Structure 1
Amino acid sequence: MAATTTTQGLPTSRGLEADARQVSSDGHVRPAEIAIGVVIGRASEAFDFFVYGIASILVFPALIFPFLDQLTATLYCFAIFGLAFVVRPIGSILFMEVDRRHGRGVKLTIALFLLGGSTAAIAFLPGYATIGNWAIAALILFRAGQGFALGGAWDGLASLLALNVPEKKRGWYAMLPQLGGPIGFIVASALFAFFVLNLSQEDFLGWGWRYPFFVAFTINVVALFARLRLIATEDFIQLYESRDLKPVRVMELLREQGSAILLGAFVPLAGFALFHLVTIFPLSYIDIYSNRSIGEFLLTQLGGAALCLVCMALSGLIADRIGRRKVLGICAGAIAVFALATPFLLGGGSAGQTAFVYIGFALLGLSHGQAAGATASNFTSQNRYTGSALTSDLAWLIGAGFAPFVALGLTSLFGVGAIALYLLSGAACTLAALAYNKRRGLRDSGAS
């Protein structure tokens, strides 16, 4: 890879981007090409996080916290899982400065190598039986590294996509970046399902679980090249230089549009609250409170994630017909109804649990499919890049980061019915934010 060039003594990303530009036939990209780059990037990020999330249930309680009972150990692991979402906004703010000083290619290269490196490093993690409390400290460090790096992985490609799509297809193209989430989950859960179903428990805990963490580094390198190829195009450079995709100082953003960050975080909260309650939490519930095969349940979740992809595509088509706000509102109401049915489904044996997975993933696809557009819709063009990043960070932190910890903790204390309250709160926040946004939109035609 070519060395970075310098401007006024500071290294920039031009050399890095030049290598990526070699694979482009011209200086322009079509929306479909941007969409592919966005999906690859989001899928690689989701893969890293889901590999960690699944291991938090199947591996780390026994490997890192063998001195605790299974429930308490899993709660500790879920607390560390949520740590990444606390650190992520810090990474966003610091990497924005790297972006301003050295270029987006440098920022992405550092962030994705740190993300892949932090994930791959976990593959070499010794257990508590070998190094004692240092194993806990190392796990916390690597998880924090994942969260910090993810803050720097925000590349502006979703905004570039939104600026280059036909007016009547905004819902469809707003949905495309969200496909990376279920795709990352499919790859991560498929790898774990393979090893769980084909290895003994001893071999799985001894070495089998480490393989998905090894894969992460390669996936992130592929994602890095796919993104560098796009940010090196003339279209991206022109938008960047016109401030449509230029990072702004955080304090300046907070003064100008701080309320838009808060509003944007609460609008999609129902879908964000549901996100880890159908991916990570059910696996812990099955592992602790049922005799169902974990490998078989992972395959069930794979089917649910495939359905999620279909429903995400439907969300784009529906949003282009009736509007994003109506889609999010209808989905929030549906999630509230689903919340009331949750205790009956999870407590209803294998059939009920399977229904919970499929219905939950379907609602996740319909609601989360429009989340990206919701977080960015109220920002001015010059604030869109930084505002979207911080809004996304806040939405993940409030809605999803500690969802598995809260859900499992509530279940252990009050029973599975308590999960309904968590989902209902997310649905209520979305409906309230949409109502406020609608009134604000009547006063400000720029809102959407």
Structure 2
Amino acid sequence: MTTTGFQTASPGDIEHDARQISSDHRISPGEIALGVIVGRASEAFDFFVFGIACVLVFPALVFPFAEPLTGTLYSFAIFSLAFIARPIGSILFLKVDRIHGRGMKLTIALFLLGGSTAAIAFLPGYATIGVFSIAALVIFRLAQGFALGGAYDGLASLLSLNAPEKHRGWYAMVPQMGAPIGFIVASALFAFFYLNLTAEDFLGWGWRYPFFVAFTINVVALFARLRLIATQEYAALYESRELVPVRVSELLETRGREVLIGAFVPLASFALFHLVTIFPISYIDLFSDRSLGEFLLTQIAGAVLCLLCVVLSGVLADRIGRRKHLGYCAAAIAVFSVATPFLLMAGTAGQTTFILVGFALLGLSHGQASGAVASNFADRDRYTGSALTSDLSWLIGAGFAPLVALFFTSTFGVASIGVYLFSGAVCTLLALSWNRRLRLNGV
């Protein structure tokens, strides 16, 4: 049967096309790794463009009635909403997974993620539509978080389950490469327009481009991931109940303690995450005379170093063990937290050192954070347990970090940032210790 004219591809059509391609040959571990990296990078890109815009765009566009500091705090408050919506999205999309399948769940989630991010590109300012501009931004941000909760596909677990015993740290770091890649792309786009446009043109249209391209990036990532989900290997794991979406109520009843402890294990890494990516941009903008465009380039260099350290974390974790590696990283972050205020107040040289050292520590710790969370669960609970625990970790450790750090800095001084980061490191060390006790007790 043939048709004429234009047709809009449905989620089922896209999933069918992916299955047609994947059925032609066996998917290699390298292709799984690439699909995981592309997926994580696209998700990180969507969140980072919003975070950067919270400093460069939204205070002037959406909150022009407020002072720059207050407008940025308002923007960071909206930034945090996605991390509140994320676990809700995970719970609801897990039900979609059980009823309609993982391909349908992932397609809906990524279309919503890309669509809500791209919609921000057309956001009118407060001067045009008043308070409705704020309301629209809140809705789009909540949609981002809700969609990201549904974007969990289990591919990282599939990669881990296929990892050789002696190389689990290496395989665990592969998905984590997506975050620095997403930050590099988002920062590079903003830096290009910020450095090459006038302030008027940048606020008028230049900032919209990174949001506009998000939909295309997410469609590419969607197809790459559906092609893997449609493979026989993935279907076999799903059917054997190794990656089954169990009910959240059932998981919490039997593995509630593991979820809670697991949420605190990567806290040092997640607290550091936005303290070297999003918060420093606001600090430079509000409390220094340094060029924001030049600072974004410095952060890109830091993100490249972070990417290299993510890879290095896989080597180190395989040599000394993941738990010991995370403990050493948390201790290093605790030391770094003491130096943080002095570095930020030490001018360009100190701030650059803060970015480079901070990104390096982030790469080493973040490279093994998710693997540590997933390892707490048996195969049957791994899919739901990893998704929910990761959501809670991001909410507790990273979701409010820019807002809290900027508020503390403006109220109590820059030294308070070090206290905040130090508390995250302590939580990780305590969680690692308690996690070991659970295992020794056979829980």
Give the TM-score taking structure 2 as reference length: 0.96
How much has 1:246 moved relative to structure 2?
Answer: 1.2
Output one character per residue of 1:193-231: Cα deviation in whole Å (capped at 9) or x when no partner. Answer: 000000000000000000000010000000000000000
How much has 1:24 moved relative to structure 2?
Answer: 3.0
Is 1:55 aligned with 2:58? no
Q: Which amino acid aligns with 1:181?
A: A
1:142 to 140, 143, 166: 140
Q: Which amino acid aligns with 1:38?
A: V
Structure-1 separation of matches of 2:11 and 2:317: 37
Q: Which amino acid aligns with 2:196?
A: N
Q: How does 1:154-165 map to 2 (within 5 A)?
A: 154-165=152-163
2:42 equivalent in structure 1: 44
How much has 1:101 moved relative to structure 2?
Answer: 0.6
Q: Which amino acid aligns with 1:127?
A: G
Asked if 2 retains the 8 angstrom alpha-carbon contact of 1:13 and 1:102, the reply is no
2:300 equivalent in structure 1: 302
Structure-2 separation of matches of 1:223 and 1:367: 25
How much has 1:55 moved relative to structure 2?
Answer: 0.3
Is 1:180 aligned with 2:174? no
How much has 1:381 moved relative to structure 2?
Answer: 1.0
Structure-1 separation of matches of 2:25 and 2:146: 32
2:365 equivalent in structure 1: 367
Cα root mean square deviation, aligned: 1.2
The alignment partner of 2:306 has SS state of helix
Asked if 2 retains the 8 angstrom alpha-carbon contact of 1:169 and 1:320, the reply is yes
1:325 equivalent in structure 2: 323
Asked if 2 retains the 8 angstrom alpha-carbon contact of 1:275 and 1:400, the reply is yes
Q: Which amino acid aligns with 1:282?
A: P
Asked if 2 retains the 8 angstrom alpha-carbon contact of 1:31 and 1:165, the reply is no
How much has 1:179 moved relative to structure 2?
Answer: 0.5
How much has 1:23 moved relative to structure 2?
Answer: 2.7
1:8 equivalent in structure 2: none
Q: Which amino acid aligns with 1:387?
A: G
Structure-1 separation of matches of 2:202 and 2:12: 44
Is 1:285 aligned with 2:303? no
Asked if 1 retains the 8 angstrom alpha-carbon contact of 2:11 and 2:107, the reply is no
2:352 to 351, 354, 359: 354
Output one character per residue of 1:165-206: Cα deviation in whole Å (capped at 9) or x when no partner. Answer: 111110001000001000000000000000000000000000
Q: Judging changes above 3 Å, is the alpha-carbon distance between structure 1 residues 126 and 13 closer, same or farther for their aligned structure 2 residues?
A: closer
Asked if 2 retains the 8 angstrom alpha-carbon contact of 1:16 and 1:105, the reply is no
Structure-1 separation of matches of 2:163 and 2:93: 28
Structure-1 separation of matches of 2:147 and 2:319: 37
Output one character per residue of 1:105-131: Cα deviation in whole Å (capped at 9) or x when no partner. Answer: 111111001000000000000000000
Q: Any stretches of 5+ residues in structure 2 without a counterpart?
A: 1-9
1:434 equivalent in structure 2: 432
Is 1:67 aligned with 2:65? yes
Q: Which amino acid aligns with 1:314?
A: L
Q: Judging changes above 3 Å, is the alpha-carbon distance between structure 1 residues 14 and 123 closer, same or farther for their aligned structure 2 residues?
A: closer
Structure-1 separation of matches of 2:126 and 2:292: 24
The alignment partner of 1:230 has SS state of helix
Q: Which amino acid aligns with 2:434?
A: Y
Structure-2 separation of matches of 1:335 and 1:226: 35
Structure-2 separation of matches of 1:227 and 1:290: 43
Output one character per residue of 1:338-359: Cα deviation in whole Å (capped at 9) or x when no partner. Answer: 0000010000000000000000
How much has 1:417 moved relative to structure 2?
Answer: 0.5
Structure-1 separation of matches of 2:177 and 2:350: 26
How much has 1:15 moved relative to structure 2?
Answer: 5.6
Q: Which amino acid aligns with 2:233?
A: D
How much has 1:103 moved relative to structure 2?
Answer: 0.8
Asked if 2 retains the 8 angstrom alpha-carbon contact of 1:16 and 1:106, the reply is no
Q: Percent identity?
A: 74
How much has 1:291 moved relative to structure 2?
Answer: 0.7
Structure-1 separation of matches of 2:12 and 2:227: 12
Give the TM-score taking structure 1 as reference length: 0.95
The alignment partner of 2:202 has SS state of helix
How much has 1:14 moved relative to structure 2?
Answer: 6.9
Equivalent pairs, count: 434
1:199 to 187, 197, 218: 197
Asked if 2 retains the 8 angstrom alpha-carbon contact of 1:43 and 1:183, the reply is yes
Structure-2 separation of matches of 1:90 and 1:62: 31
Output one character per residue of 1:324-346: Cα deviation in whole Å (capped at 9) or x when no partner. Answer: 00110000000000000001000
How much has 1:413 moved relative to structure 2?
Answer: 0.5
